[in-house]
């Protein structure tokens, strides 16, 4: 059973465009929602994270939007660049599970010039 559902599986965006990746969850006990970025041949690395007590968090060109009532959150990449081409994973965790993360299946983003 997939605890966090992520879409789309792949995304192609033109340079300068907006990339949007969506995730949904069922467990209302989740209290931490990170996004990880993974380049080919590397391990995932934390990109940005949000808690359910805020609806949006922005860091540079990356923004997480969070909708608690819909149990959905999304990653927006503004002014997408070829260097953003990577696989993006959303994840969720709850405080009682000692840091254990539940990952979505990933979105392969390609930004072409």
Partner 1 sequence: NAGVTQTPKFRILKIGQSMTLQCTQDMNHNYMYWYRQDPGMGLKLIYYSVGAGITDKGEVPNGYNVSRSTTEDFPLRLELAAPSQTSVYFCASSPTRTSGGRSTDTQYFGPGTRLTVL
Q: How far is the CB of 95 from partner 1 (least distance, A)?
A: 4
Is 101 near partner 1 (CB under 8 A)?
Answer: yes
Of the two residues 34 and 63, which places its CB atom closer to partner 1 in the complex?
34
Contacts of 32 (CB under 8 A, 6+ apart): 49, 51, 92, 93, 94, 95
Site string for partner 1, 40-69 (x = CB under 8 A): -xxxxxx--x-x------------------
Token pair for residue 3?
A: 């605890």
Q: How far is the CB of 1 from partner 1 (least distance, A)?
A: 10
Is 95 near partner 1 (CB under 8 A)?
Answer: yes
What is the rounded distance in angstroms from the CA atom of residue 108 to the CA atom of residue 55? 25
Applying CB under 8 A, among 6, 19, 74, 80 the residue interacting with partner 1 is 6
Q: Is the peptide bond before 8 cis (omega within 30 degrees of 0)?
A: yes
What is the rounded distance in angstroms from the CA atom of residue 62 to the CA atom of residue 49? 10
């Amino acid at each position: 059973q997939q605890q966090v559902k992520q879409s789309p599986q792949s995304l192609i965006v033109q340079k300068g465009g907006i990339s949007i990746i969506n995730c949904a969850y069922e467990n209302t006990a989740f209290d931490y929602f990170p996004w990880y970025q993974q380049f080919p041949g590397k391990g995932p690395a934390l990109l940005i994270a949000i808690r359910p007590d805020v609806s949006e968090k922005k860091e540079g060109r990356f923004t997480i939007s969070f909708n608690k009532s819909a149990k959905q959150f999304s990653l927006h990449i503004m002014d997408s660049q070829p260097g953003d081409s990577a696989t993006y994973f959303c994840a969720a965790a709850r405080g009682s599970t000692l840091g254990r993360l539940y990952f979505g299946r990933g979105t392969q983003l390609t930004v072409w010039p």
